[in-house]
Amino acid sequence: MFNIAINKEYKNKLRTAWMDVKKAFDSIDHEYLLHCIDCLNIAPWIYKFMEESTKRWKITLFAKNNLILKKRVSRGVLQDDSLSPLLFVVCMDPLSKCLNAKFPMVQIPIDIEECYSTNHLLFIDDLKLLAEDESTLGKMLEETMEFCEMVNLEINPKKSATNAASLKTEVMKLDDKSSYRYIGITEDCNSDPLQGVKDMVTKEIIRRANELSKTKSSGKNMIKAINEYFLLPCLGGIRLFLRKYKNTDL
Angle, CA 192 vertex, CA 190 and CA 196 arms, to 5°:
130
- The set of residues, in sequence order, having a beta carbon less than 8 Å from that of 52 and lying 6+ positions away, is none
CB 162 within 8 Å of CB 16: yes
Sequence-distant (6+) residues with CB within 8 A of 244 are none
pTM: 0.75
Q: Collapsing DSSP states into helix, strand and coil, what is residue 124?
A: coil
Contacts of 57 (CB under 8 A, 6+ apart): 72, 73, 78
Q: How far apart are CA 188 and CA 177, in angstroms?
A: 8
In the chain, count of helices (H) and strands (E)? 9, 12
Tens-level pLDDT at each residue, the chain (250 residues) = 677 778 788 888 889 899 988 888 888 899 999 999 999 988 999 999 999 999 988 888 888 888 888 888 888 888 888 888 899 999 999 999 999 999 999 988 887 778 888 999 988 888 999 999 999 999 999 999 999 988 888 888 888 888 888 888 888 888 877 777 777 777 777 777 767 767 777 787 778 777 777 877 777 887 777 777 666 555 555 544 444 545 444 4
Vertex 153: Cα angle to 87 and 1 (nearest 5):
60
- Of the candidates 54, 150, 163, 41, the one whose C-alpha atom is nearest the C-alpha of residue 95 is 150
